Amino acid sequence: MKIILKISGKIFDEDSSRLIQLRDAVVNLVSKGYRVGVVIGGGQTARRYIELARRIGSNEAYLDLLGIWTSRLNAYLVVFSLPEVAYMKVPESLEEFIQAWSYGKVVVAGGFQPGQSTAAVASLAAEASNADLLIIATNVDGVYDSDPRINPGAKLIRKIKIEDLKKVLNNSHVQAGTYELLDPMALKIIERSKIRVIVMNYNKLEKLSDIILGKEVSTLLEW
């Protein structure tokens, strides 16, 4: 089974405990015979560099590049935590990802190009590797019927269809919070290739195997 796991760069903003959980989760999947790719966001460091560059008047494309390079630095941290199983270079484009993937190792990527979110990168990676599953690990348990940070009674949706997912993402009340989840480009790729997607909480990485099997709380995009 082939899996692409997209993780928010926020997990690098704290101590090393979550990095260790990520490593353990990946090693566990590999030991079970899964093929695994990981796509990492930029997190707080990216935001700091972008902020500094904005103050000196850099254009938006330059800001995106700083975010991408930081996400690659984060990706190398993950690579260095997996010296026995990871492909030792962070691919910088989809071409490089495809080549890296063909060696049978765990491939860890950050961003590819300005204008693309890391969710879009993960979607492309899932498409190019003909992955069985794309997992989006974020700071909530999955997709809700309304924004759980505003509405305490928001209900988690366990299984969702693409049309309903689009409605939720377009719903203005949750737009701000979900923008990061799946931007239009990620959504387009997921839709055109009918990629199965699980949205999960990165605080539950130690239950990743169960989440993949549908035994733990998360949201599954079905086709």
Q: Which residues lie near its own copies (CB under 8 A)?
A: 12, 15-16, 19-20, 23, 45, 48-49, 52-53, 55-62, 65-66, 69-70, 72-73, 76-77, 80-81, 83, 86-89, 92-95, 98-99, 101-103, 105, 112-116, 120, 123-124, 127-128, 130, 184-185, 188-189, 192-193
Residue 22 CB, nearest approach to its own copies (Å): 10
Provide the strand spans (E) within 41-180: 107-109, 133-138, 143-144, 156-157, 159-160
Residue with tokens 């190009």: 113
10 annotated among ligand-binding-site residues: yes
94 close to 128: Cβ distance less than 8 angstroms: yes
Shorter beta-carbon distance to its own copies: residue 70 or 219: 70
159 annotated among ligand-binding-site residues: no
Shorter beta-carbon distance to its own copies: residue 61 or 176: 61
Shorter beta-carbon distance to its own copies: residue 55 or 213: 55
115 annotated among ligand-binding-site residues: yes
Residue 82 CB, nearest approach to its own copies (Å): 9
44 annotated among ligand-binding-site residues: no
Residue 200 CB, nearest approach to its own copies (Å): 22
d(CA 18, CA 202): 9
* CA torsion through residues 32, 35, 39, 45, sign: positive
Residue 31 CB, nearest approach to its own copies (Å): 18
Shorter beta-carbon distance to its own copies: residue 30 or 77: 77
Residue 154 CB, nearest approach to its own copies (Å): 27
Provide the strand spans (E) within the chain: 2-7, 35-40, 107-109, 133-138, 143-144, 156-157, 159-160, 197-201, 219-221
Q: Which residues pair with 171 in a beta bridge?
A: none
113 annotated among ligand-binding-site residues: yes
- The length of the chain is 223
- Residue 94, Ramachandran bin (φ over 0: left; ψ between -120 and 50: alpha; else beta): alpha
- For the CA atoms of 145, 146, 148, 152, the dihedral, rounded to the nearest 10 degrees, stands at -100
45 annotated among ligand-binding-site residues: no
Known binding-site residues for ATP equal 6-10, 43, 47, 138-139, 144, 147
* Residues of the binding site for UMP: 42, 64, 112-118
